Amino acid sequence: MSVRVTFGCGHEATLTGNEEHPRCSCGNDQIAHVAAPRPKFRGHALGPCAQFEDLPAQPVTLKG
């Protein structure tokens, strides 16, 4: 997944998410705007990013 960012200097870059400290090629490290893709949900959820799907039950073990 990639995220498009605009730095405070006005330059744009595409980040992968693995960067520890994103920095522009001119040295600026202040991020002014982020254009990330919308999240996607599926299951018992409602909303513009959600796809309702009746998921099967999963067995779980609770530790007490």
Which of 34, 32, 54, 35 shows the shortest CA–CA distance to 45? 54
Mind listing the pLDDT tens digit for each residue in 13-53? 999 888 888 999 999 999 999 987 777 878 877 777 788 88
Q: Residue 59: which pLDDT band, with cuts at 50, 70 and 90?
A: very high
Q: In sequence order, what DSSP letters do the residues of 1-64 get, joined into one string?
A: --EEEEETTS-EEEE-S--SS---TTS---EEEEE-PPP-EEES--STTEEE--PPP-------
Tokens linked to 1: 């997944």
